[in-house]
Amino acid sequence: MSNIVSVVSQNEVAVITINNPPVNALSAEVRSGLLDALTQAQADKSIFAIVIQCEGRTFIAGADIKEFGQTPKLPHLPDVVLAIANSSVPIIAALHGSVLGGGFEIALACQYRVGLKGTTLGLPEVNLGLIPGAGGTQLLPRVLGLSKAMNMIITGKSIKLPDTADNALVHAVTDSDVLACALEFSHTFVKSSGGQKLNNKIVEQDDAEDIKQHALKNLVSKRKGQTAPLKALEAIMYTTQYSLEEGMKKSRKLFLECRDSPQSAAMRYAFFAEKKAQKPKLPSISAPLKNIEKVTVIGAGTMGAGIAMCLLASGLSVYLLEINAENLERGMSYIKNTLSSSVKKGRISEQQAFEQLARLTGTTEYSSIADSHLVIEAAFESMVVKQDIFAKLEATVSTECILASNTSYLDIDEIAYVVTHKSRVIGLHFFSPAHIMKLLEIVKTKHTDTNVISSCMAFAKTIKKQAALVGMCYGFVGNRMYASYGREANFLLLEGCSPEQIDKALVDFGMAMGPLAVNDMSGIDIGYKARKENPNLSVDPAYFLAANLLVDSGRLGQKTGSGFYAYDEKLNRTSDPIVMDIFKNAAQKLNIVPQSYTSEEISERLVLALINEGANILQESIAENAEVIDTIWLNGYGFPRYYGGPMFYAQQLGWKYVKEKLLALHQQTGKDWWKPSTYIDSLL
Ligand code: 3H9
């Protein structure tokens, strides 16, 4: 018997306990331990029921993801699942925490499930480019019905265990001791009923094909380019044709195809990259992390209000500070309206909205924010404005309070110039809309204290953001790389490509949106103003000329009804021939010869620009590792997860190939930024 799976007999019930911290993942040792424990329990004639439970914070959270990509070890999980499903002694799963992936498959194979209130259940395999590989696609439709099961499996979204038993998904629910509940259920119900057979029947559903077509439609928009959800759909449909065991065999084949696919390798990499980004290497500290409960947000515009909403949703108290009552009222109304619309859409309850608003205080007085633990400045992107705010903060809040700027580009060391204790100044760069976007770029300056950094990393977890710690440079990691990507889109416009052609190429590559449609949405004038403040960026006359010309002609993007595209009142996008005329004239003046490009050439050029800038960032140690960069691009810029992020994508292309392509672009354009980063040489 393994150390991590034990079995004890308790009053004629065998209790199998798995103890494999941190999340009881189904490693080879757990799988073989479980099989041994089952055999031992089944051999004991005094036993009438078996309970499977887990130690620690959760039931089994899935297969051990680290094992994928390595030589498979016996026993395979489907065999363990089948051993449970075919057990002659009834098995009860005692659930708590997160019951995910292979963990949920084990629970579904048990004849009964009892659970702690608040337990989450899910088959998130598609998020790893996989399908449930140990019978989940065959078991869940037999428990929940085709439609519900399909929705859960192809979205990968978890559900909460029902609060009361439904005798399908769960047979008893408790809010205290789940093992005690399982034992009581065994004695009061299982012993007398003698157990039940697992549902092995073919799922009969007249509208199965309609349900499948509906799901397919959703996949096209929500899981663009991903193969695993399509395979999951195929596997789920086996339940309408085959028995459980036959369906399991056939779906296993689809699982193996997914497991060995480049998409799954990239998505598994992304899973661990995000965890790594949350744990930067920092000197150890003895002082406790700062307690952050009261937060001030300065600026009640779209960004400030979004940040405030994100903090309120995480249970924090928020002061929203504006320079005048009118601006404040606008921001407060925006928050109230957004919350009431969330209530109408059923995302939060009326009570939750009420509680959130009760924790929000609007003010125009610095004196009323004196007890803040953290201030996040989200004011206008101007050094003068920001320094003025930080000087006021210096005179108002305690020296223990962390002072953060949400600037996207500005030098935070320069902002901190007006502050005496510079070690408490940091960048907290949210992405718009801040209450929805997952990424938080945490920017350390040369003075930021380790305790302040660690406290902000912990704060990111509290507000359910994906943290990525980066160093100071213009645009930090995300926007610095985005500038190189946008730069190439602008050059291509002067070389004769249309905005539609460029955007389509990047959307076909897998980006959530094309760069020019994004620019229209965020406002072309934002980058324009930033470039004016930092003239070094515009040394090349063609660099962002296309965007600059649009701004000069009053086309600022969606907000003015025109930018790279024309927009109607509903913000529907159409192409505008005037735009191409503007670019054509500019190109002629600069003697740029029009060329034609394929979609692949366009996307490759923009992605190579990202990769080279990312490599420069690593060379300069602005990001600690490639995982930080990829985390930023996956969570803040819609880079396709099935490519793992720009740096993982480069590695998959091969760094030698990347270098050759960069050298060719350098030769073709003569532009210095195409010189391959020296970091790439270190990888060859
Ligand atoms: C599957 O099951 C396939 C089957 O259908 C078929 C097989 C044949 N494996 O997230 P946390 C590590 S696919 C290995 O910070 P939390 C994680 O890396 C799997 N390691 O904690 C971290 O390590 P470190 C389907 C795992 O409380 C530590 O545990 N299941 C696994 O914020 C703590 O994690 C999933 O996709 C794993 N499965 O969240 C579930 N899971 O400390 C994936 C976690 O070294 N996991 N680790 O950085 C989760 O969603 C979250 O971890 C969970 C806990 C919600 C469980």
Mean pLDDT of 55-63: 97
**Angle ∠(321,324,327) on CA atoms, nearest 5:** 80
The neighbouring-strand residues paired with 443 are: 427, 470
Residue identified by tokens 């649009």 is 550
Q: Is the pLDDT of residue 537 over 70?
A: no
Mean pLDDT of 591-618: 97
Say if ligand 1 is within 6 A of residue 470 CB: no
Query: What distance in Å separates the CA atoms of residue 91 and residue 474, rounded to the nearest whole number?
Result: 59
> What pLDDT, on the 0 to 100 scale, is given for residue 196?
78
- C-alpha 613 chain-centroid distance: 23
Under a CB-based contact definition with an 8 Å cutoff, are residues 114 and 94 in contact?
yes
State the pLDDT confidence band at 663, using cuts at 50, 70 and 90: very high
Backbone angles phi, psi at 627, to 5 degrees: -60, -35
Query: What distance in Å separates the CA atoms of residue 256 and residue 566, rounded to the nearest whole number?
Result: 47
Nearest-atom number in ligand 1 for the CA of 127 is: 36
Residues 144-172 as b or e (16 or more Cβ within 10 Å = b)? bebbebbbbbbbbebeebeeebeeebbbb
Say if ligand 1 is within 6 A of residue 62 CB: yes
pLDDT tens track for 500-531: 999 999 999 999 899 999 999 989 998 888 78
State the pLDDT confidence band at 556, using cuts at 50, 70 and 90: very high
> What pLDDT, on the 0 to 100 scale, is given for residue 171?
96
Query: What distance in Å separates the CA atoms of residue 336 and residue 356, rounded to the nearest whole number?
Result: 10
pLDDT tens track for 6-45: 999 999 999 999 999 999 999 999 999 999 999 999 999 9
State the pLDDT confidence band at 2, using cuts at 50, 70 and 90: low
Residue nearest atom 50 of ligand 1, based on CA coordinates: 61
Distance 33 CA to ligand 1 centre (A): 20
The pTM of the full predicted model, rounded to 2 decimals, is: 0.95
Lowest mean pLDDT across 164-178, 308-322, 445-459, 541-555: 541-555
Distance 24 CA to ligand 1 centre (A): 9
Under a CB-based contact definition with an 8 Å cutoff, are residues 184 and 177 in contact?
no
CA-CA-CA-CA dihedral for 654, 630, 443, 507, to nearest 10: 110
Say if ligand 1 is within 6 A of residue 124 CB: yes
Interface ipTM above 0.90: yes
Q: In what order do the strands lie in the sheet with 5-10?
A: 5-10, 13-18, 49-54, 91-95, 112-116, 172-174
Mean pLDDT of 124-128: 98
**Angle ∠(637,639,644) on CA atoms, nearest 5:** 130
Distance 77 CA to ligand 1 centre (A): 16
Mean pLDDT of 613-631: 98
The beta-strand segments (E) located in 234-316 are 294-298
CA neighbours within 13 Å on the CB side: how many for 454?
14
> What pLDDT, on the 0 to 100 scale, is given for residue 549?
92
pLDDT tens track for 363-372: 999 999 999 9
Helix axes 499-509, 478-494, angle to 10 degrees: 130
Say if ligand 1 is within 6 A of residue 156 CB: no
Percentage of the chain beyond pLDDT 70 is 99
Distance 233 CA to ligand 1 centre (A): 24
Helix (H) or strand (E) holding 443: strand 439-443
Most confident of 112-116, 187-191, 281-285: 112-116
Mean pLDDT of 103-117: 97
Under a CB-based contact definition with an 8 Å cutoff, are residues 451 and 467 in contact?
no
> What pLDDT, on the 0 to 100 scale, is given for residue 538?
62
Active site residues: 105, 125
> What pLDDT, on the 0 to 100 scale, is given for residue 195?
76
Query: What distance in Å separates the CA atoms of residue 114 and residue 172, rounded to the nearest whole number?
Result: 5
Under a CB-based contact definition with an 8 Å cutoff, are residues 294 and 373 in contact?
yes
Query: What distance in Å separates the CA atoms of residue 118 and residue 141, rounded to the nearest whole number?
Result: 22
Q: Is the pLDDT of residue 337 over 90?
A: yes
- C-alpha 290 chain-centroid distance: 26
Which pair of structure tokens corresponds to residue 467?
A: 């943290």
Query: What distance in Å separates the CA atoms of residue 441 and residue 457, rounded to the nearest whole number?
Result: 10
Average pLDDT of the chain, as a whole number:
95
Distance 19 CA to ligand 1 centre (A): 15
State the pLDDT confidence band at 539, using cuts at 50, 70 and 90: low
Percentage of the chain beyond pLDDT 90 is 89
Phi and psi based region of residue 24 (left: phi greater than 0; alpha: psi -120 to 50; beta: remaining): left
Say if ligand 1 is within 6 A of residue 441 CB: no
Phi and psi based region of residue 294 (left: phi greater than 0; alpha: psi -120 to 50; beta: remaining): beta
Which pair of structure tokens corresponds to residue 526?
A: 């934002």
Q: Is the pLDDT of residue 575 over 90?
A: yes
Mean pLDDT of 407-418: 94
Spatial CA neighbour of 524 closest among 563, 570, 483: 563
Helix (H) or strand (E) holding 492: helix 478-494
Alpha helices in 510-637 (DSSP H): 515-522, 524-533, 545-552, 577-589, 599-619, 626-636
Query: What distance in Å separates the CA atoms of residue 69 and residue 259, rounded to the nearest whole number?
Result: 8
Select from 27, 65, 66 the residue to mutate for testing ligand 1; criterion: most ligand atoms less than 8 Å from CB: 65
> What pLDDT, on the 0 to 100 scale, is given for residue 3?
82
The neighbouring-strand residues paired with 8 are: 15
| Cα→Cα distances 592→348, 528, 564, 585, 674, Å | 54, 22, 20, 10, 18
Mean pLDDT of 326-352: 96
Q: Is the pLDDT of residue 643 over 90?
A: yes
**3-class DSSP assignment, residue 117:** coil
- Which amino acid does the sequence have at 8? V
> What pLDDT, on the 0 to 100 scale, is given for residue 1?
59
